């Protein structure tokens, strides 16, 4: 089977000692005569021995693994490939590897409310990072009451769990102000308000308008996933030919917008200016390069992991916001 050909006991037999001695020799820190240690280590290496992690973890009461959970509907495969998630996951992976922890990745359909408890109680991981609270605030609150090592990426408000995120409202406001400053007066908001993050971005959009004394433009309810019938939704563009700016709730939505505008022969940024959100890798390479709001995901990932490890040690790490800035390129 998968079982390594050798166990601690096998090595012990070969070396003419007990498993205990082998364990000590390999872990190094206890007092073992140099001779035995040398012999044991040599035999172990010779046979490519690796201690069984499962047994080790059982004994040590930990798993050396962190679960990364993405709460999604059934379109998981589609949404998980959103560059935001993947960039974040890549960064988290690096950060966890640095701390010698494995990454257990799972997308869950949050239809049943027990998904988090399931993962938390199963003992598969020492801690959990949830990417995007989505509409699962209640579940998160509930879980946080009894489960400590939990960090969530999302909109940080007065939530009882540890949450890392950006000031989405400010982000939405920033991009809108940029368009207003550029003289745009008929600015649409593209994105669905189905998560706290996006609601906050929309709030910022509204606030910027209010402060500038400009009437907000129409709302284009584009879903995150491309495949959906967003083409129809973008027919909205035809119904509102006076739109001269678009605040997109994500870079992917912005990309979609660039595409649809191009299809309709409307030039960016001359006719319509577009601002994205996330600054995903491809943003800089779109046609035209996308002006967008950057969330520093490298810092975010490092921060989340750091907070998580502090919580795993019993500390009470607080929610934190990571900085955010507008990256000025050519689409607006």
Partner DNA sequence: CGCGATCTTGTAATCGTTTGCGCACCTCGG
Partner DNA sequence: CCGAGGTGCGCAAACGATTACAAGATCGCG
Q: Give me the residues that bind a copy of itself (CB under 8 A), please.
A: 1-5, 48-55, 57-58, 61-63, 65, 76-78, 80-81, 83, 85-87, 89-91, 93-94, 97, 102-107, 117-118, 121-127, 146, 149, 226, 252, 255-256, 258-259, 262, 281-282, 284-289, 298, 312
Min dist. Cβ of residue 242 to a copy of itself (A): 23
- 106 bridge partner residues: 69
Neighbour tally for 147: CB within 10 Å: 17
Min dist. Cβ of residue 100 to a copy of itself (A): 11
61 binds DNA (CB under 7 A): yes
For residue 284, the 8-state DSSP code is G
Q: Which does 33 bind (CB under 5 to 8 A by kind): a copy of itself, DNA, none?
A: DNA
Min dist. Cβ of residue 52 to DNA (A): 3
33 binds DNA (CB under 7 A): yes
Angle at 190 between CA 187 and CA 194, to 5 degrees: 135
Residue (of 141, 149, 136, 154) closest to 295 by Cα position: 154
- What does the buried/exposed string (b/e) look like for 85-123 if buried means 16 or more CB atoms within 10 Å of the residue's CB? bebbbebbeebbeeeebebbeebbebeeeebbeebbeee
Q: Name the residue nearer to DNA (CB basis): 7 or 320.
A: 7
The whole-angstrom separation of Cα 280 and Cα 251 is 7
Answer whether 163's CB lies under 8 Å from 317's CB: no
Answer whether 161's CB lies under 8 Å from 318's CB: no
Min dist. Cβ of residue 9 to a copy of itself (A): 15
Q: Name the residue nearer to DNA (CB basis): 62 or 321.
A: 62
Min dist. Cβ of residue 132 to a copy of itself (A): 15
The whole-angstrom separation of Cα 227 and Cα 23 is 54
| Among positions 13, 14, 19, 76, the unique one binding DNA when judged by CB under 7 A | 19
Min dist. Cβ of residue 69 to DNA (A): 21
Min dist. Cβ of residue 123 to DNA (A): 7
> Residues 192, 269, 78, 113: is their CA dihedral positive or negative?
negative
| Among positions 36, 75, 78, 298, the unique one binding DNA when judged by CB under 7 A | 36
160 binds DNA (CB under 7 A): no
101 binds DNA (CB under 7 A): no
16 binds DNA (CB under 7 A): yes
Q: Name the residue nearer to a copy of itself (CB basis): 30 or 81.
A: 81
90 binds DNA (CB under 7 A): no
| Among positions 13, 52, 147, 216, the unique one binding DNA when judged by CB under 7 A | 52
Residue whose tokens read 């906050």: 200
| Among positions 21, 168, 250, 331, the unique one binding DNA when judged by CB under 7 A | 21
Beta-sheet strands, E only, within the chain: 65-71, 102-108, 127-131, 150-153, 162-165, 187-190, 219-220, 245-248, 273-278, 291-295, 320-321, 324-327
Q: Which residues make Cβ contacts (< 8 Å) with residue 91, sequence separation at least 6?
A: 297, 298, 300, 301, 302
Contacts with DNA by CB under 7 A lie at 3-4, 7-9, 16-21, 23-24, 26-27, 30-37, 51-52, 55-56, 58-61
């Amino acid at each position: 089977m998968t079982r390594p050909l050798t166990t601690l006991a096998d090595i012990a037999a070969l070396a003419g000692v007990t498993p205990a001695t082998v364990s000590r020799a390999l872990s190094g820190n206890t007092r073992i005569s140099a001779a035995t240690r040398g012999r044991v280590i040599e035999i172990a290496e010779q046979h490519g021995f690796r201690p069984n992690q499962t047994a080790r973890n059982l004994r040590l009461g930990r798993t050396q693994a962190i679960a990364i959970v993405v709460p999604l509907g059934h379109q998981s495969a589609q949404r998980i490939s959103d560059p935001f998630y993947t960039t974040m996951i890549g960064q988290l992976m690096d950060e966890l590897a640095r701390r010698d922890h494995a990454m257990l990745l799972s997308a869950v359909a949050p239809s049943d409310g027990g998904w988090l408890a399931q993962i938390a109680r199963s003992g598969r991981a020492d801690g959990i990072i949830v990417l995007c609270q989505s509409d699962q605030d209640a579940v998160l609150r509930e879980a946080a009451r009894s489960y400590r090592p939990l960090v969530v990426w999302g909109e940080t408000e007065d939530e009882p769990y540890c949450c890392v995120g950006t000031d989405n409202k400010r982000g939405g406001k920033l991009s809108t102000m940029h368009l207003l400053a550029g003289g745009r007066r008929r600015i649409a908001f593209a994105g669905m308000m189905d998560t706290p993050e996006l609601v906050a971005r929309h709030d910022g959009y509204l606030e910027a308008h209010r402060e500038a004394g400009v009437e907000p433009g129409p709302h284009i309810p584009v879903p995150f996933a491309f495949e959906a019938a967003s083409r129809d939704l973008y027919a909205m563009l035809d119904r509102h030919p006076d739109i001269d700016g678009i605040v997109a709730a994500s870079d992917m939505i912005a990309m979609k917008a660039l595409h649809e505008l191009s299809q309709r022969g409307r030039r960016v940024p001359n006719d319509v200016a577009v601002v994205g959100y996330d600054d995903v890798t491809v943003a800089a390479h779109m046609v035209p390069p996308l002006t967008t709001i950057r969330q520093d995901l490298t810092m975010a990932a490092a921060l989340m992991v750091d907070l998580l490890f502090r919580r795993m040690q019993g500390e009470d790490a607080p929610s934190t916001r990571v900085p955010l800035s507008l990256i000025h390129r050519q689409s607006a």
